[in-house]
Amino acid sequence: MSTSASTVPATSRKILVLGATSGIAEATCRIWAKEGASLFLVARNSQKLAAVAADLKTRGAGYVDTSVADLDDTAQHPALLAHAINSLGGMDVAYLAHGILGDQAKAEQDFETAAQIIHTNFVSAVSLLTWLANFCVQRHAGVLAVISSVAGDRGRKSNYLYGSSKAALSAFLGGLRNRVDREGVTVLNIKPGPVRTGMTSHMPGAEKMADVNAVAKTIVKAIDAKADNLYVPFQWGPIMWVIQHIPERVFKKLNL
Amino acid sequence: MPTSAAPTAAPERVTSDAITPPDGKVPFESWGRYPRYGGRIVPMHWQQDFPANIAGLHNGALPVGMGRSYGDSCLLKDGNLVLTTGMNRLLAFDPATGILTAEAGLTLAQILDFAVPRGFFLPVTPGTKYVTLGGAIANDIHGKNHHVAGTFGNHVTRFELVRSDGSRRVCSPTQDPDWFAATIGGLGLTGMITWAELKLRPIVTRMIDYEAIQFHGIDEFLALTEQYKNVEYTVSWIDCASTGKNFARGIFMLGDHARIPGDLSPSPEPKLVFPFEAPGFALNHTTVSMFNTLYFHKQLKPRVQTLVDYEPFFYPLDKVLHWNRLYGKDGLLQFQYAIPWESAREATIAILGEIAKSGLASFLAVLKAFGDVPSPGLLSFPQPGITLALDFAMKEGRTFPLFERLADMTRDYGGRLYPAKDAAMTASQFQTFYPQWEQLARFRDPVITSSFWERVTGDRPAL
pLDDT at residue A1 in the model: 45
Do B144 and B173 lie in a common domain?
yes
Q: Are residues B243 and B374 in the same domain?
A: yes
In a domain, B284, yes or no: yes
Q: Nearest by CB to A55, from B43, B48, B91: name it.
A: B91
Give the residue numbers spanning the domain of B315.
207-426
Catalytic-role residue among A63, A95, A162, A231: A162
State the CATH number of the domain containing residue B161: 3.30.465.10
Residue B315 in contact with residue B68, Cβ under 8 Å?
A: no
Find out whether B367 and B221 touch, Cβ atoms under 8 Å: yes
In a domain, B180, yes or no: yes
Last residue of one domain, picked from the residues B170, B203, B236: B203
- Report A:192-251 residues touching B (Cβ under 8 A): 198, 201-202
Rounded to 5 degrees, φ, ψ at A3 are -100, 5
Contact B114 A59 (CB under 8 A): yes
A51 touches chain B (CB under 8 A): yes
Q: What is the mean pLDDT of residues A14-31?
A: 97
Q: What is the pLDDT of residues A76-105, one digit of tens each?
A: 999 999 999 999 999 999 999 999 999 999
**B259 or B300: which carries more pLDDT confidence?**
B259
pLDDT at B17 over 70: no
* Residues A14-251, CATH architecture: 3-Layer(aba) Sandwich (3.40)
Residues B415 and B278 in one domain: yes
Task: Looking at the structure, tell me whether residues B241 and B375 fall in a common domain.
Answer: yes
Q: Say whether both B259 and B394 belong to one domain.
A: yes
User: CA distances (Å), B285 to each of B278, B355, B398, in order?
Assistant: 16, 11, 13
CA B188 – CA B137 distance, rounded (Å) = 9
**In which element (H, E) is residue A162 found?**
helix A160-180
Residue of A nearest to B93 (CA): A58
For B179, the 3-state DSSP assignment is helix
- Is the pLDDT at B320 greater than 80? The verdict is yes
pLDDT band for A159, please (50, 70, 90 cuts). Answer: very high
Cβ-proximal residues to B390 (8 Å cutoff; 6+ apart), any chain: B240, B334, B335, B336, B355, B362, B364, B365, B366
Mutation target among A44, A49, A201, A211 for the B interface, most CBs of B within 10 A: A201
Give the distance from residue A135's alpha carbon to the nearest chain B alpha carbon, in angstroms.
33
pLDDT at B186 over 70: yes
Q: Is A48 on the interface with B (CB under 8 A)?
A: yes
3-state secondary structure of A127: helix
**Distance between CA atoms of residues B265 and B140, nearest Å:** 28
Indicate the domain borders of chain A.
14-251
Task: Give domain status of residue B444, yes or no.
Answer: no
Query: How far is Cα B170 from Cα B176, in angstroms, rounded to an integer?
Result: 8
Residue B462, pLDDT score: 56
CA proximity to B184, closest of B131, B146, B132, B139: B139
pLDDT of residue B9: 37
Taken as a whole, chain B contains a residue count of 463
Query: A48 and B46 in contact by Cβ < 8 A?
Result: yes
Per the document, the length of chain A is: 256
Residues B281 and B354 in one domain: yes
ipTM at complex level = 0.90
pLDDT band, residue B16 (cuts 50/70/90): very low
Question: Are B150 and B102 part of one and the same domain?
Answer: yes
Specify whether B193 is located in the same domain as B258. no
Please indicate whether, in this complex, the C-beta atoms of A51 and B47 are within 8 angstroms of each other: yes
Q: Do both B170 and B237 map to the same domain? A: no
Chain A nearest CA to B330, separation (Å): 23
Residue B223 and residue B48: Cα distance in Å, rounded? Answer: 52
Among B160, B184, B203, identify where a domain stops: B203
B346-350: long-range contacts, CB 8 A cutoff, minimum separation 24: B346/B413, B347/B386, B347/B409, B347/B410, B347/B413, B347/B415, B348/B218, B348/B248, B348/B386, B348/B388, B349/B218, B349/B248, B350/B409, B350/B413
Is position B236 within any domain? Answer: yes
Q: Report the number of distinct structural domains present in chain B.
A: 2
Q: For the whole model, what pTM was predicted?
A: 0.92
Judgement on whether residues B241 and B197 belong to the same structural domain of the protein: no
| B93 in reach of chain A (CB within 8 A) | yes
* B218 and B194 together in one domain: no
CATH of the domain at B397: 3.30.70.2520
Which of these three, B139, B174, B203, is where a domain ends? B203
Cα separation, B369 vs B145, in Å, equals 10
Looking at chain A, the whole-number percentage of residues with pLDDT higher than 70 is 96
User: What is chain B's mean pLDDT, rounded?
Assistant: 90
| B260 and B390 share one domain | yes
Span B43-54, average pLDDT? 96
C-alpha R_g of chain B: 22
User: Best interface-test mutation with A: which of B26, B40, B44, B46 has the largest number of A CBs within 10 A?
Assistant: B46
The answer, for A119 touching chain B at a CB cutoff of 8 Å, is no
Amino acid at B431: Q
H or E element, residue A52: helix A46-59
